[in-house]
Amino acid sequence: MIQIHTSKALATDLAGHLTEAPRNPGAMQWYAHRMHVLRRKCVIAMEAESRYAMVFTGLTKPDFQRFADIFSDRLIREALSICQLDDDQSGRLGAVATLVTESVQILPGYDRSVQTHINEVVREMEWTAYEAGTLPEHDGHEFSFGLRMNQTPRKRKGDKDYFYPLEKMRAFWLGLLEHVSARTDNQVPLHKPALH
């Protein structure tokens, strides 16, 4: 399960999809913010634990109507891309990521620490867009921009050292795949694993 906590700005675009639900400690926690860059609506979504960012640019009303599906599809594709596994393992990871994303809740919410890191990505995206005169034009360009941001060292309150979001997210997916594979190999019934 995934819970996406939205800023007030994004909540206006996703008003018909918002739900009231308690924070689920077994769910992957994401925070998302909408802003305008070059007069187009863009969303930065960031996973709370790893601070891994996904970038969505030039979103339209129909995109917001199906934002949960767009988000899930992108997350699965990015998981496969950053893990770079062989075909068999990629197939297994794809199945695990599909299980994780089968339920997405969108709810209002805010985390000051995560928002600080989202704001850093926003500033970099604004600077890059104004320099180039354009936004990333498709998923591949958005992923490339996000990849650069996810290789920027970050530090959360209470952390002793800096970390790289890309490395943390990759370790998460590989660890989850290993956990699920071990359970399957031992023929233990598969339950949705705790994510954090």
Query: Per the domain annotation, does 190 fall within a domain?
Result: no
Closest by alpha carbon to 82, among 137, 28, 162, 146? 146
Average pLDDT, the chain: 92
**pLDDT of residue 195 exceeding 60:** no
Residue 186: inside a domain: no
Q: What is the mean pLDDT of residues 96-104?
A: 96
Evaluate whether residue 187 is within a structural domain. Answer: no
H-helix or E-strand containing 31?
Answer: strand 28-37
The verdict on residue 157 lying in a domain is yes
d(CA 19, CA 83): 32
Residue 168 falls inside a structural domain: yes
What mean pLDDT is predicted for residues 86-107?
96
CATH of the domain at 60: 3.30.420
Compute the average pLDDT of residues 21-28. 94
Contact indicator for 104, 68 with CB cutoff of 8 Å: yes
Has residue 180 been placed in a domain? no
Which of 147, 148, 176 lies closest to 81, judged by CA?
147
DSSP state of 6: E
Structure confidence at residue 133 as a pLDDT band (50, 70, 90): very high
Q: What is the mean pLDDT of residues 175-193?
A: 69
Tokens matching residue 75? 């997350």
Q: State yes or no: pLDDT of 5 exceeds 60.
A: yes
Q: Mean pLDDT, to the nearest integer, of 171-192?
A: 75
CB contact at 8 A, 101 and 2 = yes
Contact between residue 41 and residue 56 where contact means Cβ atoms under 8 Å apart: no
Tokens 């989850």 map to which residue?
Answer: 176
Angle value at C-alpha 167, between 166 and 172, nearest 5 degrees: 100
Please report which confidence band the pLDDT of residue 77 belongs to, taking 50, 70 and 90 as the band edges: very high
What is the chain's length? Answer: 196
What is the percentage of the chain residues whose pLDDT exceeds 70? 93
Q: Domain span at residue 124?
A: 2-175
Euclidean distance between CA atoms 64 and 140, whole angstroms: 19
How many domains does one find in the chain? 1
Q: Cβ of 142: how many Cβ atoms within 10 Å?
A: 21
Segment 82-110 shows an average pLDDT of 96
157 vs 128, higher pLDDT: 128
Kindly state whether residue 27 falls inside one of the protein's structural domains. Answer: yes
Average pLDDT over residues 148-166: 93
Q: Is residue 82 part of a domain?
A: yes
